[in-house]
Amino acid sequence: MATYQLIAAYEVGAGGQSSITIGSGGTIPQTYTDLILKCSLRNNTGISYNTVKLSFNGSPSGSSYSFRTLYTIGTTTSSYGGSSGSEIVAGGSVSSGNTSSTFSNAEFYIPNYAGSTNKSVSCDSVTEANSSTNGNIFNNLTAGLFANTSPITSIVLTSDASSFVQYSTAYLYGVKNA
Amino acid sequence: MTVTYEVISSETLGSAQSSVTIGSGGTIPQTYTDLVLVYAPLGSTNTVTHSMRVNGDTASNYSLTGMRGDGSSGTSYRASNATSWTMYPNDYDNTTVPNVITVNFQNYTNTTSYKNILWRAGLSASGYGVSAQVGLWRKTPEGITSITLTSTGNFAIGSTFSLYGIKAE
């Protein structure tokens, strides 16, 4: 029996997209155990540090999110976090000021997404473009919490930038443990 | 379509336990290429931590190197000649917010080389953090047939443990 199945695939088209919504209207099926979201992202700005933000179910409560991140930029390793926020800041996308045709690589793991407990999220993300001119070449490990007991039925990805560029992708998989 | 990612075992605790063994008696099948362990432990209190052994080996064959962030600073740590892999040694399990922990065991059946593992853990709550560790098991090479997780207190009701096998075919 297949336990790792594609639920949804999303590719940003020409002109870009300000956000990526998966399960619009609350359509993520509740029949899996865990969710895995794999992303490849690039944005349209040249700012030095460009994060990706994750929120669920249309953010029913704007203060339900917290996170802890360990990251490396160049030769520096550090950590930051946030609490009572409106999204989980998790990873980055490659800015347009960096080498062309380079995209980030990120994976979000969301266990027990259909359960009635608060939702923990794990994220690994890297951006590498053979350049540090814009300072946004970093890798990133994040623990996030969505302090809400409702099942996750939709996911929204946003960015510091105004849009994700064409060919950015997001694939959502479901994992069954039985 | 060939199925390459399969459930080997899955357990949700209905009662608190101080240890959980996956593949008890050495029953993890040796028919996959890699293993992925996904677990979300809850603690009996907020001050318990836990560790992992494979194949019941209690000798000083374990080492690890890790890095951790608590929301304000990043640190690294390591241990060698240890009798287990201690998970995120500066952290604890939480009574209400589960960790999200994934552990990758590549080429776990080989009998010619020591085993490396990679695990990532994270819990977003005050006083907790996120970590990534690599581990090495240096027992005379043998396939991994069981995995035991042990808590300094208890794994609480609702803790989940799932083991998946990946076939490279």
- Nearest CA distance, A121 vs chain B (angstrom): 7
- Does residue A137 lie within any of the structural domains? yes
B90 has pLDDT over 60 = no
Domain that holds residue A95: 10-175
What integer is the mean pLDDT of A153-158?
A: 96
What integer is the mean pLDDT of B99-114?
A: 94
- Nearest CA distance, B37 vs chain A (angstrom): 11
Distance of alpha carbon A166 from alpha carbon A156, whole angstroms:
17
Nearest to A176 by CA among A27, A6, A34: A34
- Region of poorest pLDDT, from A85-94, A150-159, B106-115, B152-161: A85-94
Distance of alpha carbon B131 from alpha carbon A68, whole angstroms:
10
Which of A74-88, A119-133, B81-95, B106-120 ranks highest by mean pLDDT? Answer: B106-120
Distance of alpha carbon B119 from alpha carbon B128, whole angstroms:
17
Q: What is the pLDDT of residue B34?
A: 96
- Does residue A5 lie within any of the structural domains? no
Indicate the pTM of the whole model.
0.91
A101 has pLDDT over 70 = yes
Output A58 or A59, whichever has higher pLDDT. Answer: A58
Which two structure tokens, joined as six digits, stand for B116? 């490396």
A134 has pLDDT over 60 = no
Distance of alpha carbon B83 from alpha carbon A140, whole angstroms:
30
Contact B147, B19 (CB under 8 A): no
B28-86 pLDDT per residue, tens: 999 999 999 999 999 888 778 889 999 999 999 999 999 999 899 999 999 999 999 98
Residues of A with CB under 8 A from a CB of B: 1-4, 33-34, 66-71, 77-83, 88, 109, 111-112, 117-118, 120-122, 124, 141-145, 175-178
- Does residue A32 lie within any of the structural domains? yes
Nearest CA in chain B to A2: B3
What integer is the mean pLDDT of A42-58?
A: 85
Nearest CA in chain A to B76: A77
> Which residues of chain A make contact with B158, given a CB cutoff of 8 A?
117
- Nearest CA distance, B93 vs chain A (angstrom): 13
- Does residue A1 lie within any of the structural domains? no
- Does residue A2 lie within any of the structural domains? no
Counting residues of chain B whose pLDDT is more than 70, the rounded percentage is 96
Tally of domains in chain A: 1
Q: List the CATH number of the domain containing B153.
A: 2.60.120
- Does residue A37 lie within any of the structural domains? yes
Which two structure tokens, joined as six digits, stand for A28? 């993520």
Counting residues of chain A whose pLDDT is more than 90, the rounded percentage is 66
Which two structure tokens, joined as six digits, stand for A82? 């946030």
- Nearest CA distance, B98 vs chain A (angstrom): 7
> Which residues of chain B make contact with A120, given a CB cutoff of 8 A?
40, 97-100, 122-124
Q: List the CATH number of the domain containing A106.
A: 2.60.120
> Which residues of chain A make contact with B97, given a CB cutoff of 8 A?
118, 120, 145
- Does residue A79 lie within any of the structural domains? yes
Distance of alpha carbon B127 from alpha carbon B152, whole angstroms:
18
Which two structure tokens, joined as six digits, stand for B98? 């589960």
Length of chain A: 178
Amino acid of residue B114: Y
Domain that holds residue B108: 5-166
- Nearest CA distance, A126 vs chain B (angstrom): 14
Contact criterion met (CB < 8 Å) for A68 and B67: no
What integer is the mean pLDDT of A138-163?
A: 92
What integer is the mean pLDDT of A8-20?
A: 95
B150 has pLDDT over 90 = yes
Q: Report which secondary-structure segment, H or E, holds B150.
A: strand B147-155
> Which residues of chain A make contact with B121, given a CB cutoff of 8 A?
122, 143
Q: What is the pLDDT of residue A46?
A: 75
* Cβ-based burial of A154 (10 A; exposed 0-12, middle 13-18, buried ≥19): middle
Length of chain B: 169
> Which residues of chain A make contact with B164, given a CB cutoff of 8 A?
3-4, 175, 177
Distance of alpha carbon B17 from alpha carbon B39, whole angstroms:
14
Q: Which residues contact A75 (CB under 8 A, 6 or more apart)?
A: none
Residues of B with CB under 8 A from a CB of A: 1, 3-7, 10, 38, 40, 67-74, 76, 96-100, 102, 120-126, 128-132, 158, 160, 162, 164
- Does residue A158 lie within any of the structural domains? yes
Distance of alpha carbon B126 from alpha carbon B128, whole angstroms:
6
Tally of domains in chain B: 1
